[in-house]
Chain A
Amino acid sequence: DQQVKQNSPSLSVQEGRISILNCDYTNSMFDYFLWYKKYPAEGPTFLISISSIKDKNEDGRFTVFLNKSAKHLSLHIVPSQPGDSAVYFCAASANAGKSTFGDGTTLTVKP
């Protein structure tokens, strides 16, 4: 049973436009959600997170939205830049230390 799902394996957007990456979860005990970006041959880089007591968190070009009733979160990147092209992982945590990652979405930003 996959508790964190990223249903879109890939996404392609034009430079300057908005990128929206989606993530769904099934475990209502998750209380902290994160987005990571990963380039090939590198470890994941932490981007932004949100606690379950909030519905939005913003950091520069990155905004994460959480809809608890729908068990859905999304990452908005605006404006998108070619350097944003990478694999994006959604992750969730319920118990201290335990993490569950989605399968990832490959974002391609075209110049």
Chain B
Amino acid sequence: DTEVTQTPKHLVMGMTNKKSLKCEQHMGHRAMYWYKQKAKKPPELMFVYSYEKLSINESVPSRFSPECPNSSLLNLHLHALQPEDSALYLCASSQGAKPPWFFGPGTRLTVL
């Protein structure tokens, strides 16, 4: 299995909602990542987990809360988001904490 899967594919939420994005990989990779991509912009790194520990937080607002329950799973908990947080959220994984990074299809998030 060489895939990174993400659910849901699309998510619409209000500014007072709490929701979670999920990511799963079965490639035995030990590093997992969250990226945010706005339209016509490159992916921007948000968080890196290495061996299930948070190793990089790129100064992301606390309304985004990552969680790595085990080496195959990565969650992103969302609370009190703003409309400007609307974007494509991409999960990626890699063997160790080095590239190449393998991306999932993303979750298209819309905040109303």
A residues with CB within 8 A of B: 32, 34, 36, 41-46, 49, 89, 91, 93, 96-99, 101-104
- Main secondary structure, interface of B, reads strand
Interface contact A97-B50, CB-CB below 8 Å: yes
B residues with CB within 8 A of A: 4, 6, 31, 33, 40-45, 48, 50, 55-56, 90, 92, 94, 96-106, 108
Bound complex: CA A82 to CA B27 (Å): 31
Interface contact A46-B101, CB-CB below 8 Å: yes
The 6 closest A-B CB pairs, nearest first, are A101-B42, A43-B103, A96-B97, A97-B97, A97-B48, A46-B100
Interface contact B42-A49, CB-CB below 8 Å: no
The residue in chain A whose Cβ has the minimal distance to the Cβ of B47 is A97
The residue in chain A whose Cβ has the minimal distance to the Cβ of B45 is A99
Bound complex: CA A43 to CA B48 (Å): 17
The residue in chain A whose Cβ has the minimal distance to the Cβ of B33 is A97
Interface contact B56-A97, CB-CB below 8 Å: yes
The residue in chain A whose Cβ has the minimal distance to the Cβ of B100 is A46
Pairs across A and B, CB under 8 Å, 25 listed: A32-B98, A34-B99, A34-B101, A41-B106, A41-B108, A42-B105, A43-B4, A43-B92, A43-B104, A43-B105, A46-B101, A89-B42, A93-B98, A93-B99, A96-B50, A97-B33, A97-B55, A97-B56, A99-B33, A99-B45, A99-B101, A101-B42, A102-B42, A103-B42, A104-B42
- The smallest beta-carbon distance between A1 and chain B, in angstroms, is 14
Bound complex: CA A93 to CA B108 (Å): 26
- The smallest beta-carbon distance between B39 and chain A, in angstroms, is 10
Residues of A within 8 A of B6 (CB): 43
